């Protein structure tokens, strides 16, 4: 077959233009949903452009025409064959209260790994401080944690949290942004086959365990709970969720026992990883606000019982969200 290219282009150009117009609409308007007639027409135009591409591919045709048609067919192919659910409209509240808990439960195994590593780190840190108090400068290389806990408690209770005066907002945003960046790093470390995440979670647990043991052994358990619980009950689970997302990625990367290729494994887990990342970011924003505006106030400004109660209430709320959130939505999804 011999193609008269100018005539061929002239006769097919109106169809290509029509297809391009529809594609522009689909690509720029995320809410656009074609009706049956439009969908049929779109499919016809795609098939026609594909046939045109086939026709000219076998012959020596000027490269610009071929590239143009390839680009057109590629764009239409993407629109027609996409079967994944598109996030045409992102509902942030629904995502947090329904999708996030559902995904959390679906990936509970990875969360358990994350929790287990942190608990191992806590046990190690606590044991190290209890057995060898001289290891404190090594385990806790932070100047404000080097002194005796009882001295710090006495100082905090004397100053009524005044040292935070005039810089609470800045402190809060610094905490949020820093914690979110550390959590994203922990998540991204999943691409090191989970090894980087393993180290980060264990080390985080070591610090937590060492601080806790230091305060408890010095008789400051109540202060510790009042200080850590209001923000820690959200912040620590958020970091565990980051670890959970990382291990979901690592599992897909390793693919032990999986019969599908790497790209397909990632394709399955990536939406869940994004949902977990979004959930942990919201949790860390809340934790940052609590840490700057609440956790830094101690008795006599805020009774420890109140702080502990609020911390426990937050934890209860979080547990309720993660265990019960999205149950109705899941049934609707299954039905549809």
Partner 1 sequence: MTAKRLRVLAIRTPEGVVFSVPLAGPFARFLACAVDFALITAVSMFAGSVLSIFGLLSRDLAKALATLSYFVVSLGYAIALEWGWRGQTVGKRLLRLRVVDAQGLRLQFHQVVVRNLLRYVDRLPLLYLVGGVAALISPRSQRLGDIAAGTVVARIEETGEPDLAQALGDKYNSLRSRPAIVARLRQRVSPAEASVALRAIMRREQIDPEPRARLFQEFAARFRTLADFPPETVEDISDEQFVRNVVDVVFRTRG
Of the ranges 34-42, 128-136, 166-174, 325-333, which one interacts with partner 1 (CB under 8 A)? 166-174
Q: Which residues of 143-181 are buried (b: 16+ CB within 10 A; e: fewer)?
A: eebeeebeebbeebeeeebeebeeeeeeebeebbeebbe
- Nearest distance, CB of residue 328 and partner 1, angstroms: 23
Kindly give, in sequence order, each residue whose CB lies less than 8 Å from that of residue 135, ignoring residues fewer than 6 positions away.
128, 129
Q: Are 16 and 73 in contact (CB under 8 A)?
A: no
Alpha carbon distance 63, 194 (integer Å):
46
**Could you tell me the smallest distance in angstroms from the CB atom of residue 168 to partner 1?**
7
Contacts (CB under 8 A) with partner 1, residues 188-247: 188-189, 191-192, 196
Q: Does 87 bind partner 1 (CB under 8 A)?
A: yes
The position carrying tokens 């045409």 is: 88
| From 112, 127, 154, 169, residue interacting with partner 1 (rule: CB under 8 A) | 169
Residue 74 binds partner 1 (CB under 8 A): yes
Can you tell me the distance from the alpha carbon of 266 to that of 245, in angstroms, rounded to the nearest whole number? 12
* Shortest distance, position 228 Cβ to partner 1, whole Å: 23
Site map 272..311 versus partner 1, x via CB under 8 A:
-xxx-x----------------------------------
| Biggest distance spanned by C-alpha atoms of the chain | 94
Q: What's the rounded Cα separation, in Å, for the pair 239 and 179?
A: 8
The answer to whether residue 92 forms part of the interface with partner 1 (CB under 8 A) is no
Size of the site for partner 1 (CB under 8 A): 68
Instruction: Tell whether residue 93 is a contact of partner 1 (CB under 8 A).
Output: no
Distance CA 214, CA 221 (A): 9
Six-digit token string for 314 = 């937050």
DSSP secondary structure code for residue 124 in this structure? H
Which residues contact residue 29 at a Cβ distance below 8 angstroms, ignoring those fewer than 6 apart? none
Contact flags string 52-71 toward partner 1, x per CB under 8 A:
-xx--x-xxxxxxxxxx-xx
What are the tokens at 239? 């970091």
By rule CB under 8 A, what string of x and - marks binding of each residue 173-192 to partner 1? xx-xx--xx--xx-xxx-xx
Residues 6-35 that bind partner 1 (CB under 8 A): 6, 9, 27
Distance separating alpha carbons of residues 300 and 223, to the nearest angstrom: 12
**Mask 96-125, x = binds partner 1 (CB under 8 A)?**
------------------------------
Q: Of how many residues is the chain composed?
A: 336
Subset of 123-142 contacting partner 1 (CB under 8 A): none
For binding to partner 1 (CB under 8 A), which residues are involved?
Answer: 2-6, 9, 27, 47, 50, 53-54, 57, 59-68, 70-71, 73-74, 77-79, 81-82, 84, 86-87, 90, 166-170, 172-174, 176-177, 180-181, 184-185, 187-189, 191-192, 196, 249, 252-253, 262-263, 266-267, 270-271, 273-275, 277
């Amino acid at each position: 077959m011999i193609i008269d290219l100018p005539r061929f282009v002239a006769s097919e150009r109106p169809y290509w233009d029509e297809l391009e117009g529809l594609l522009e609409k689909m690509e720029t308007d995320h809410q656009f949903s074609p009706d049956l007639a439009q969908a049929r027409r779109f499919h016809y135009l795609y098939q026609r452009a594909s046939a045109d591409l086939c026709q000219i591919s076998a012959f020596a045709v000027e490269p610009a025409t071929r590239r143009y048609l390839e680009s057109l067919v590629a764009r239409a192919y993407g629109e027609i064959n996409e079967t994944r659910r598109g996030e045409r409209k992102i509902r942030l509240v629904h995502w947090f209260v329904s999708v996030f808990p559902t995904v959390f439960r679906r990936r509970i195994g990875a969360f358990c790994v994350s929790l287990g590593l942190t608990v191992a780190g806590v046990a190690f840190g606590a044991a190290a401080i209890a057995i060898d108090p001289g290891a404190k400068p090594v385990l806790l290389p932070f100047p404000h944690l080097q002194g005796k806990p009882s001295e710090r408690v006495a100082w905090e209770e004397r100053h009524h949290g005044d040292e935070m005066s005039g810089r609470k907002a800045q402190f809060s945003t610094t905490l949020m942004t820093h914690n979110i960046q550390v959590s994203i790093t922990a998540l991204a470390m999943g691409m090191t086959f989970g090894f980087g995440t393993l180290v980060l979670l264990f080390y985080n647990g070591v610090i937590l365990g060492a601080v806790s043991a230091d305060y408890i052994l010095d008789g400051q358990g109540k202060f510790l709970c009042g200080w850590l619980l209001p923000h820690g009950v959200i912040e620590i689970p958020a970091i565990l969720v980051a670890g959970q997302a990382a291990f979901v990625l690592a599992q897909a990367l390793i693919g032990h026992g999986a019969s599908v290729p790497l790209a397909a494994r990632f394709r399955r887990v990536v939406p869940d990883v994004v949902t977990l990342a979004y959930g942990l970011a919201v949790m860390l924003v809340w934790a940052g606000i609590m840490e700057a505006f609440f956790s830094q106030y101690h008795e006599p400004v805020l009774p420890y019982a109140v702080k502990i109660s609020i911390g426990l209430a937050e934890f209860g709320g979080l547990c309720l969200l993660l265990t019960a959130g999205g149950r109705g939505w899941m049934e609707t999804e299954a039905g549809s």
